[in-house]
Every structure is written in structure tokens, then in C-alpha cells.
Chains A and B, each alone.
Chain A
Amino acid sequence: MRLWSWLGFALGAVFMVLPLVGMFEFSLRARRGEYSLDAYRSVLGDPQFQATFAYSVVVAIVTIIAGVLLVVPTAYWVRLRLSRLRPVMEFVTLLPLVIPPIVIAFGYLRQFNTSSFLPLTGSARGTDFLLVMGYVTLSLPYMYRAVDTGLRTLDVATLTEASQSLGASWVTILSRVILPNLWPAVLSGAFLSFAIVIGEYVFAALLDRPAFGPYMVWVGGNRAYEPAALAVIAFGVTWACMGLLTLTGRLAAHHRAARR
């Protein structure tokens, strides 16, 4: 039995590890006859890489901030006052996983074109805004679930009443009472959003923004060893996000245990 378990595990492990070894080995092959970091040097030194990566990082950060500003007050309010709305919220926040992203992006191009009531695609800034909104939509399922799970561990009604009796306004309650209690949940939603947004291709390509995803596709079509180096970098970013996510989860559990 144990032998079979090891065999099953090994089958999966070999399949999952080989491509990682492959992309790493390939990324070192840029110089003939020996391993070198030339592909990384060429990628990291490329102004296009720097510009698109920086663009995507900024978009990801703005997406996270917008997502938190949208989701935290809403989830809080639904828990506090509108619990009958919860099934509807669960359904709506699940939709971005059900509707393929390319369909949503297609809808954006039609709904916000230059002859529409809100011609966002008409200007570069407007399209940037639309891209961020698209990414907030894509990360909605993860952000909402994380925050809602975080809220479940709080006694929202008591916290609100206590703050109100001390004269706090709604903004104060949200920013100084609810949000500090939600940090681990918000951070886990944020890291996940970052991992999704940083290399996203479909929205960025269809909205024609100079983001990291389309840049990677361009490199893939025009270079030999640089794509593998980009894959290693992208994998590193995903690992970092997921590592931080696990870490915040553990810290939160530790924090809760210490409080009790």
C-alpha cells in the first residue's frame, strides 16, 4: 500500500517538477556550449521589460487598493445590515469564475467604445481605468471570499456598537476598527490578486495596454532563450505571492491563538 502511494506521488511529482527543471535549464543555455545567465541579463536589461513590468506592478497595486476599498465596506455592510443579501453577493462574486474572462473583455470593448454612453476606451487613461476595473472583477471572487471569511471571525455588531457609542463615524469604524482586524484576510486576497494580475494577457492585449502579459507573448514569438528566463521570473513572482499568502495565514492563526 505504501509502495503504491509512493508511486502515485512520484508520478505526480515528476510531471510537476520536470517543466520547472526544463525551463530553468533552458533559460541558462543562451551561450553556446556553457551555462550562463545571459538570457536573464538580456531580459532584465531590456527597457521594454522594465517598462511593462513596472506598468503591471502599478496596475496590480491600484487593483488591490480599489478592490479593498470596494469589497471591505460592502462585505462589512452586508454582514451588519443586509444579511438577506448574502446569497446574492455570493452569486455575483462567483460570476467572474463562471464567465470566461475573454467574454467579459469583449463586453468591455462593446460597452465602453467611443460611441457609447461611457467612452472609456477613447483615451489612454480611460483604458487604464477600464483595465483596473477588469482586474478588480477578475480578483473579486478571491478578495470577497477572503474578506468575508475574515469578517466571520469578528463580532461585527458589537464592534460597531462600541465604536458608535464612543462617537466614531462610519469612516473611522471602517478604517480604524474593522480594517485593522481584517489585515490577514485582506493581505491574502491581495497576494492572490497580485499573482493573477501581474502576467494577465487577455484583458491587457484586447484593451491594448503596454502590460507584462503581452510583452511576454511578444518575447515568446521573437526570442529563443529569453522566454524561459521570463517563465522562471514569473514562477518566482507566483511563489513569492503564495508564500506570503501562506505566511499571513499562519500569522493570523498564531495571532488568534495568542488572543484567546
Chain B
Amino acid sequence: MTITAATPAPVPAPPARRLHVGGTLAAWIGVAPFIAFALLFLLLPTLTVVIGAFRAPGGGFTLEHVAGLSQPRIVSAFWISIRLSLATAALGCLIGFIVAAAVTRGGLPEGLRSGVMTFSGVAANFAGVPLAFAFIATLGRLGFMTVLLREWFGFNLYATGFNLISFWGLVLTYLYFQIPLMVLVITPALDGLKREWREAAEVLGASRLQYFRMIAMPILWPAVLGTFALLFANAFGAVATAMALTGSSLSIAPILLFAQIRGDVLQDPALGYAIAFGMIVLTAVANLISILLRGRAERWLK
């Protein structure tokens, strides 16, 4: 996920002119290659998976595969995935909001802001396998911080029960791309808070807390919740980071699907379709919520 530079002002549409491009059919031929591509490499593969989730072995419709999702192993994988996505989205939103608010509203030097935005662009894209390596090198048993804490402060991190290859270790690692994504998405919303609103509130005798609670938050919450849903979907679909960090010792839904595709670990090939379908449903709902809420939030940004 990346946000690129601000969009320049659009050129006003010129009045309709007659162009020499032939009839309507010719117009559609112009987008035919794209339609063919989208059908072949995006829509049909997804449809194949969805249909597979509802097709009986001999053909015909069945709910058996989807019902198969109720196996304890699959339920627990989805449940870990959902908790992981909720935890990283919540913490990512909170910390990202604090950082974004500090650099946009907190009176910090102007140069800091562009630095934070550029760094966020990089960090939001620094996911996958190398990110897992960076965290193993930092918080693994022999990692930089683990050794530093032990040798300088006599504090044995791993004696406290901490383990990087665990649920909370994965949460920490995911936060590395969730926080910058929150910063990138929420900064425009924070910029949309007008100085006049704050001044008006102050003139009317509002305290800082009252301004935050009664003016800033009601305007910001659709954007914050929308980004929360976005971060949820972002974490839910991620697989490479978790694979490289934990091998397959922590069975989250995408890792279970990966293992199933590779070697049919669930004794029923059709269950792969059902897991994939479940993942589509969850990320689609999260994205839909995100789009609706962020669209609502944009009313204030004009």
C-alpha cells in the first residue's frame, strides 16, 4: 500500500468535440486488451476459487466445503488470523495516529514532517521476507536488542517468556508496516482540520480536551475507523512475513492455505477453495467498510 505524491489540479473538461475515432464498437475495441487481461488473470482465477468452494466433486452445488471450515484446525487458524489483524490494526492505528498528530499538529520542525512521510513510504513497502529477517536480527535469541539488554542492563528478555516466534512477536513485526501505512493515510485527514475550528472553539471557551473530544474526534473518526479496516485487510492477506518468521509453527489462515496448496495437508483438496473463499469474504468486507468510511471522511477535507 502506498500513497504517492499529491494530485495536481485537474484540467477542466473541454467542450465535446468530434474526434475521428469511429463508432461505439470501435470505442470498445480500445479497451478490449485490458478487459481480456482482467478476465483472464484477475476475475476468472478468483471466480474459479469461489466456484470451487461450492462445487460438489461430481459437479453441482454443495455447501459441504464451506461447512468444512468448522474443523477445529481451520477455525483456530482463522481465529488467530483475525486476532492478529485486529491487534496489529488497533496498535498500528494508535501509534500511527500519535506519530502523525505529533508531526502535523504538534509544533515540531517543518522538515521533520517530509522526512517522516518519505520514511513511511519506504517502511510501508518494506514487508515480506526481509522484514522478518530484520526482526530476527533485532529481537531473536541472539538479536541486537536481546544481546544489548542482557549485556548492558543484565535483563534477559527471553527469561520473561518473550518469544519472537509467537503471536505477539508477529504483532510487533506486522506493526513495522502497519504504523507507517496509518501515518500515510491519516495525515491528509489531520491536515483537513482547519485552524478556524480550533480558534472558534477556544473563543467559546473550550479546553484543549474539549476541542479534541467534541470537534476533532467526531470529524476524524470515520477516517480512523476506515484506516483501521484497511490495516485489518492488509494484515489478514499478508503471508510472506509470517512464513519467514515462524516457518509454519504459527498456523494463521494464509499459511494454512499455502500449506494446503503445496501439499494437501487437510486430506480434502476442496477445503483449500473454502479457506480461500473465507479469506476473500473477510478482506472484501474489511475493504468495503474502509472505502465507505473513508469516503465519508473526505467530506471534511474539501
Contacts and interface: CB of A to CB of B under 8 A. Distances in A.
A119 interface: no
A8 B7 contact: no
B126 A216 contact: no
A22 B41 contact: no
A206 B107 contact: no
Interface in B280-301: 280, 283-284, 287
A25 B240 CA distance: 23
A78 B30 CA distance: 8
B46 interface: yes
Contacts of A105: 261
Given A106-B272, A154-B11, A157-B19, A220 B42 contact: no
Contact of A16 (B21, B49, B176): B176
Nearest to B291: A94
Nearest to A256: B8
Nearest to B236: A100
A195 B143 contact: no
B265 interface: no
A5 B10 contact: no
| Main SS at interface, chain A | helix
Interface stretch (B59-67, B71-79, B96-104, B191-199): B96-104
A101 B257 CA distance: 12
Interface in A109-126: 109-111, 118
Give the interface centre of A5, A18, A158 by most chain B CB atoms within 10 Å: A5
Nearest to B39: A92
Given A9-B108, A11-B95, A99 B133 contact: no
Given A22-B134, A74-B34, A110 B45 contact: yes
B90 interface: no
Contacts of A171: none
Given A100-B280, A242-B118, A201 B240 contact: yes
B237 A26 contact: no
Contacts of B41: 108, 133-134, 136-137
Interface residues of B, number: 95
A47 interface: no
A6 to B, nearest CB: 7
A188 B5 contact: yes
Interface in B146-204: 175-176, 179-180, 183
Interface in B1-55: 1-2, 4-5, 7-11, 14, 17, 19-21, 27-28, 30-31, 33-34, 37-38, 40-49, 52
A60 to B, nearest CB: 14
B135 interface: yes
Contacts of A104: 42, 45-46
Interface of A: 1-2, 4-6, 8-9, 11-13, 15-16, 18-23, 25-27, 70-71, 73-74, 77-78, 80-82, 85, 92, 95-111, 118, 133-134, 136-137, 140, 142, 145-146, 149, 152-155, 157-158, 160-161, 164, 188, 192, 195-196, 199-202, 205-206, 213, 216-217, 220-221, 227-228, 230-231, 234-235, 238-239, 241-243, 245-246, 249, 253, 256
22 contacts: A8-B98, A20-B134, A21-B144, A22-B138, A26-B137, A74-B34, A82-B27, A99-B46, A102-B276, A107-B276, A133-B41, A136-B41, A149-B4, A157-B14, A164-B20, A192-B2, A213-B240, A220-B136, A228-B137, A231-B133, A234-B126, A238-B126
In order of increasing CB-CB distance, the 4 nearest A-B pairs are A5-B106, A107-B45, A22-B138, A100-B237
Interface of B: 1-2, 4-5, 7-11, 14, 17, 19-21, 27-28, 30-31, 33-34, 37-38, 40-49, 52, 95-96, 98-99, 101-103, 105-108, 112, 116, 118-119, 121-123, 125-126, 128-139, 142-145, 175-176, 179-180, 183, 208, 233, 236-237, 239-240, 243-244, 247, 254, 257-258, 261-262, 272, 276, 279-280, 283-284, 287
